[in-house]
Amino acid sequence: MDAFYAAVEQRDHPELQGKPVIVGGEPGTRSVVSTCSYEARKYGIRSAMPVDTAVKLCPEAVIMPPRFRVYQNISGQINEIFRLFTPLVEPLSLDEAFLDVTGSLRLFGSALGIAGQIKKKIKAETSLVASAASAPNKFLAKLATSIYKPDGLIEINTQWVKEILPGLSIKMLWGVGDKTAGLLETLGFKTIGDIQKTSEDYLARYIGEKSARHLKSIACAEDSRSVEIPGRSKSTGSSVTFDHDSSNCIFLENEIKKLAGSVCRTLRAGGRFAGQVSIRIRFADFSEITRQEKLVPRSSATRNITEKALLLFRRSWNGKKIRLLGVTLASLYSEKNSQLDFFQVNTEKLENADKTADELERRFGIPMRLDCRKI
């Protein structure tokens, strides 16, 4: 997706069309740019840049707070479109995915044709623009969608690999960050073609055998990885870093409730039940603790899990200022265990109520959440 979060904000707020838009926190906080519009990128603003730096580059930029629930819902819509063409979908993030369309060619036509159909359907159903590339492997597909933006549509063939790939910067290689790029540049490597011409043994002297093998392979457009449908995760979690360190008990407990609610929705969306709850606390001095406890019986009910998370927090917090809080659910199963505590509140009604609220929110955007004020 092209400038996904910013594009959603421009779509939902027409007055932002054509303006430099930054999705992130307010200046003067620890916030970084989540995404920015193409108008903002002309000023040198990029994702992960501190918001304060971005505002200095473009004082007239409009800063919009992120609405991750909205972005998640739209991402779900887009993934449903993908699966109309192939079941082999590997999401990388909310705005990016690999699709294997090998088995769909007879039904839908060429790979480039399928990419074009997907782009049109995304535009028609979400009013958002995507860039797509058909390529023989993951590396080339990702590289092409990074280059040919916005609204890109391209087929990467043998001629492109021979004529275009060698002239690209080594920074375009997957896995080459600023540190590795700086080292390679001091050794005289500037383009992918430079890597192609050197031996793997020579590279290994400076970056190690494993990295040299990877670098040499992708520089030569070799990538044997297949598109993988994500397996069921062993845990699901959520965390928040505060703009300012806090020791306000009410604020901190409310954040625990929000985090627990978020991970419970994710849990229920996957039809899972948790057998363990853990919390993570990072203090202002960057020291950190993690505490966990079993959940018996397993549950996906927001109330039960929130109660456990709050109990862990109250036992663990020593009154020091906190920088980050996190809640994680582990020991995930597709069914509940049958052993019930005699005093355990029947959770089935709570879980069914939560599922109903989740469905209403998915369909209509109505935030029907459990009232945890009495927990």
Catalytic residues: 96
Under 8 Å between Cβ of 372 and 257: yes
Contacts of 51 by beta carbon, 8 Å cutoff, 6+ apart: 22, 24, 25, 26, 27, 29, 31, 32, 33, 63
- b/e sequence 253-276, b meaning 16+ C-beta within 10 Å: bebbbbbbbbbbbbbbeeebbbbb
- Conformation bin of residue 18: beta by default, left when phi > 0, alpha when psi is -120 to 50: left
Q: What does DSSP assign to residue 191? A: B
* d(C-alpha 125, C-alpha 101), whole Å: 21
